[in-house]
Amino acid sequence: MTFDRILGARAARIFSLAVLSFFVFPASPQTTNAPQAPPPAQSHGTVIFSRSTDESGQTTTAVGPAGHPAFGQSVSAPVANDAERQSLTFTSFDLDVHLRAAEHAISVRAIVAVRNDGKSPLAHIPLQITSSLNWERIRIAGHDAAFTVATLNSDVDHTGQLREAAVTPAAPLAPGSSLNLDVTYSGTIAQTAQRLLAIGTPEDVALHSDWDSIGVDFTGLRGFANVVWYPASSVPVILGDGARVFDEMGEHKQRISGARFRLRLTSEFPHGNPPTAALINGHNVPLTITDSPTSGADVSGIATAAFDTPALGFEAPSLFVAIRTPHQAANATFFASPSDEANVPNWSQAADSVTPFLEHWFGQSPRSRLTILDLPDPRDSPFETGALLVTTIRQAAHGELSGILLHALAQAWMSSPRAWLSEGVAHFMDTLWIEKQSGREKSLDLLESSRAALALAEPPSPGESPGQPLAQATSPVYYRTKAAYVFWMLRDIVGDPALSAALRAYSAADDAARGLGPMSSSAYFEELILRATTQFGENRDLSWFFSDWISNDKGLPDIAIDSVFPSPSAGPPPPTPHSSKSSSSLEPGNNPTLTGPDSSSWLVAVNLSNSGYAAAEIPVTVRNASTSVTQRIIVPARGKATVRILIDGRPTEVQANDGAVPETQASIHIKTLSDADSGTPSSSTSPSTQ
């Protein structure tokens, strides 16, 4: 394997870069014999730290010969431990980023504030960046701080490695205390799919998934989980250890939620090739270009931009700089490459076609303008963060494009710092769009396709595992799948007008002011829902719903139809506790004329039970050949409930739940009634549970 210097003398003058050291290493079983990323000059060692997990779930650490990093003291084993990595919370990022696109190079000075959220003092402050970058200097209170450097195997970065600096403060950082660090680092970021190749992913697939790199035409740095270009602290995890990599990705986003973020960008570009788009954390920021038309070809132009936000949401900071042609649409900006500009009108028309649907739910204007950035290769995997979609602006059918644009625009309309609101609402809109096109059953089929994964992730009981309360969820199966179910249930409980009113009234700034991160709550959105229901004449107590489904993770309900008692009735049924509005498939006055014993009204008592730990309000439907009647009822956790439904004509079938409420085993329960069931409990159960 050859080693190259990343910059010449001129670049060194600009960046103050030195020759980088890289490690060629035998990794843990998941990375053994994997192709390595092209390393820079003068390798001095092998891997010093690897991690794997045995069948019992225990983490095994292997320490090898020490390397000799270019900066900081080399060590024979990592100095920081997992407890220190998990205790560290970043509360502020202030970054000066200098790109030299022609050499794929980056140089960063970062002033970061960290807090000890653990229970013990921290003797070391662990700071991590991608292994293709090198730590140069770390200062505390204006003085150089001692630090060691280790290379860790971790697949939260596309190289499969992190470069960890363990900083030793003058005194251990006490629990709850904060510290400011002034750090500089530099190096190159070129495309590599080392982590995916190491687990046997075909090279073509791997490279079109891990496309992060710095280049003249396109610079894409997606952040933690793809390329760690800013300081982070995480537990080393490897692909193949179940869902640990993905759990660490979500936990990282949650830990930095609420952090202040500032970035000043300076990007050098070859004369005559200025970038036209800069996107920081999904936001389109204006560029200032300095490129004299009389300068020689060997004199670089300079592009600058700045971004400042008081609080990060549930996101990994990202940076994109590209040469693209902007095209404006009603609520979106398309940055297209020359080969894809002809496709922009079709994308714009698709955006226009779904806009009235979104306006109906959210109001006339999105909270953020959608930006779509064209990827360099049509086979590259799309990426989404907030109101930014990075994808190929390719030719596609209108129906396919409308689905893509609906989801992306929903993110722009909602634009929340909380994952369960931004992602959950967008996936909820996806299902409502299918309902609009193909009916409710098809949209619930889409939800059902991911219910099994949710049921598997949920704790069997609150006592066995805390699970992930939706307001603090870090896993997609919660903040996407479960959240979409929650909005379906809210829709059925409070109605479309009230839910729409709450979504329209939502303010991301007001929500963020309530606090983000691990201690997030749903109190603000609960207030909006209660205010909206009062506005539309409903004054229901929904505290049970927010407690069981959002503020806490009590698992899923498990509903059963215990028994059914149908009997002829001459009068209306007695009131049913917790039942809501009834509905019939026949309009008033259009009932068919019934003769014989089936022409009378029947009162059907349906006894239900819930063996789960979360209460649920479900629809219960009684049918016969001519009509159906539905009432809603709350079935308490670990409890029972009875609903009584009056129907014209002899009932033939009872259904509990229609798939809108996720359950552990099945989300639709049907019992078929026979003539012999009159006055006796029914026990004939249809196997047609989903």
pLDDT at 210 over 90: yes
Quick check: do 9-323 and 559-677 share a fold?
yes
Q: Which CATH number fits domain 9-323: 2.60.40.1730, 2.40.50.140, 3.40.718.10, 3.90.70.10?
A: 2.60.40.1730
Burial of 563: CB neighbours in 10 Å, binned 0-12, 13-18, 19+: middle
- Least reliable range by pLDDT among 163-177, 329-343, 403-417, 460-474: 460-474
Each domain of the chain, given as residue ranges in start order, spans 9-323, 420-551, 559-677
DSSP string, 25-45: ----GGGTTPPPPPPBS----
Nearest CA to 441 among 177, 660, 255, 616?
Answer: 660
On whether the CB atoms of residues 180 and 111 are closer than 8 A, the answer is yes
pLDDT at residue 416 tops 80: yes
CB proximity list for 489: less than 8 A, separation 6 or greater: 545, 549, 616, 617, 660, 661
What is the rounded average pLDDT for all residues in the chain? 85
Rounded to whole angstroms, the Cα distance separating 227 from 244 reads: 17
* Cα separation, 485 vs 483, whole angstroms: 5
The CB density around residue 485, as the number of other CB atoms within 10 Å, is 27
Report pLDDT for 300. Answer: 86
* Residues 3-15 pLDDT 10s: 233 223 333 333 3
Per the CB < 8 A criterion, the answer to whether 512 and 417 are in contact is yes
Q: How far is CA 324 from CA 277, 341, 407, 664, in A?
A: 7, 10, 23, 48
> 420-551: CATH homologous superfamily?
Neutral Protease Domain 2 (1.10.390.10)
What angle, rounded to 10 degrees, do the helices at 419-438 and 344-362 form? 100
Q: Please give the structure tokens belonging to residue 264.
A: 């000043």
Rounded Cα distance between 228 and 214, Å, is 13
What's the mean pLDDT in 520-544?
Answer: 91
Minimum mean pLDDT range among 13-17, 138-142, 419-423, 587-591:
13-17
Nearest alpha carbon to residue 127 among 205, 189, 185: 185
Q: What are phi and psi of 409, to 5 degrees?
A: -70, -30
Cα dihedral 277, 283, 286, 289 in deg (nearest 10): -40
Residue bearing the bigger pLDDT, 60 or 100: 100
Read off the pLDDT of each residue in 524-552 and give the average, rounded to a whole number.
Answer: 92
Is the pTM for the entire model greater than 0.85?
A: no
pLDDT greater than 80 at residue 296: no
Kindly state the percentage of the chain with pLDDT values over 70. Answer: 82
217, 227 Cβ separation under 8 angstroms? no
Query: What is the rounded distance in angstroms from the CA atom of residue 561 to the CA atom of residue 36?
Result: 58
* H or E element that contains 134: strand 133-140
Confidence of residue 243 (pLDDT cuts 50, 70, 90): confident
Query: Residue range 405-418: average pLDDT?
Result: 95
- Nearest in space to 388 (alpha carbons), one of 307, 461, 268: 307
Which helix H or strand E contains 361, and what residues bound it? helix 344-362
Q: With beta carbons less than 8 A apart as the criterion, state whether 419 and 479 touch.
A: yes
Looking at per-residue pLDDT, the higher value among 241 and 309 belongs to 309
Give the type of residue at 41. A
Residue 188, pLDDT above cutoff 50: yes
More confident residue, 361 or 10: 361
pLDDT band at 239 (very low <50, low <70, confident <90, very high): very high
pLDDT per residue as tens digits for the range 323-332: 999 999 989 9
Average pLDDT of the residues in 163-168: 96
Q: Is pLDDT above 60 for 155? A: yes
Report percent pLDDT > 90 for the chain: 75
| pLDDT in the model for residue 520 | 86
Per-residue pLDDT at 501 exceeds 50? yes
CA pseudo-torsion sign 236, 192, 242, 115: positive
Q: What's the pLDDT score for residue 571?
A: 57
Distance between CA atoms of residues 363 and 352, nearest Å: 15
Q: Which residues of 565-600 are buried (b: 16+ CB within 10 A; e: fewer)?
A: bbeeeeeebeebeebbeeeeeeeeeeeeebeeebee
Residues 614 and 663 sit within 8 Å (Cβ to Cβ): no
Burial group, residue 126, by CB count within 10 angstroms (0-12, 13-18, 19+): buried
Q: What is the CATH number of domain 559-677?
A: 2.60.40
Residue 189 has pLDDT above 80, yes or no: yes
| The predicted structure's pLDDT at residue 225 | 96
Q: Is 63 helix (H, G, I), strand (E, B) or coil?
A: coil
